[in-house]
Amino acid sequence: MAQVIFYEKPGCINNAKQKKWLIAAGHDVISKNILEAEWSPDELLPYFGDRPVTEWFNKTAPRVKSGEIVPESFGVEDALALMVKDPILIRRPLLRVDDKRMQGFDKNAIHAWIGLQPSEGNEAVVEKLQKDDLTIRPRPDKNARCDDQAPAIPEKPLSLMMEITNAAGLEVTYAYDDLVFVSHNIFIYRFTEIGRNVDIFFNKDCEAQAEQRFMETLLRAAKDKGITLSRRGHYTLSEAEEENISIEFLEAP
């Protein structure tokens, strides 16, 4: 078992899957926000190994997609200086175990490095993840997103939901249409046509005790804010066509 320092963008669905696999393989994963880390060129460079500079870049970063930044035009020093100032440009994840560092989630390379065989009782989890291509991040459909553009924030009580979520020790990571996503994908809020009535769906993989604990805390905080929070059921995430992510809501009867 290894202790893996895992730099991610909170809320990214593929990063969540990658961490889940590492944990299922028996590793201790310490998550860090790649956008908030204090990077320096000397600290960042070892993660890239012998990759060409163009592969260091996150191709879905807004400044890359818009054409403002052309990865092929950068040398080592200029690319490092740019990424230190704007870490969203770094292709994720970054992994560190002891003194060794790696960029990306190459299954074969990671297995040869620290092992990805499932620990006892996690065979089914790893079997499912093995079918996914975790080296790329999917383009989400209308129900979810994992890219780096700022999603549209619905004209709903979002600020109140952020405060309610903080009371449970979590944070809102992004909002899209009528959905609000929180850190670690534990649950999703869904706004209704009545502004202060909000539905909540828990991830099907969330343990029942944890779900109940979060719900009790959220209900207390929601009551203080004048929000009616209703537990409607569960949801699952899966890959759809063209590498999209699909959300299926499993509403309680």
Q: Measured between alpha carbons, how far is 249 from 169 in angstroms, rounded to an integer?
A: 24
Q: Which amino acid is at 208?
A: A
Dig out the tokens for 34 from the structure.
């790649």
Which among 173, 174, 172, 171 is positioned nearest to 151, based on CA atoms?
174
Q: Which amino acid is at 12?
A: C
- Strand ranges for 1-142 from DSSP E: 3-8, 28-33, 94-97, 100-103
Which among 47, 53, 239, 57 is positioned nearest to 143, based on CA atoms?
239
Element at 199 (helix H, strand E): strand 197-203
- What are the helix (H) ranges across 75-234? 76-85, 107-113, 123-130, 158-167, 208-225
Dig out the tokens for 12 from the structure.
């990214």
Active-site option among 6, 7, 12, 237: 12
CA 7 to chain centroid, in Å, comes to 10
Q: Which amino acid is at 120?
A: E
User: Catalytic residue at 146?
Assistant: no
CA 153 to chain centroid, in Å, comes to 18
Annotated catalytic sites, by residue? 12
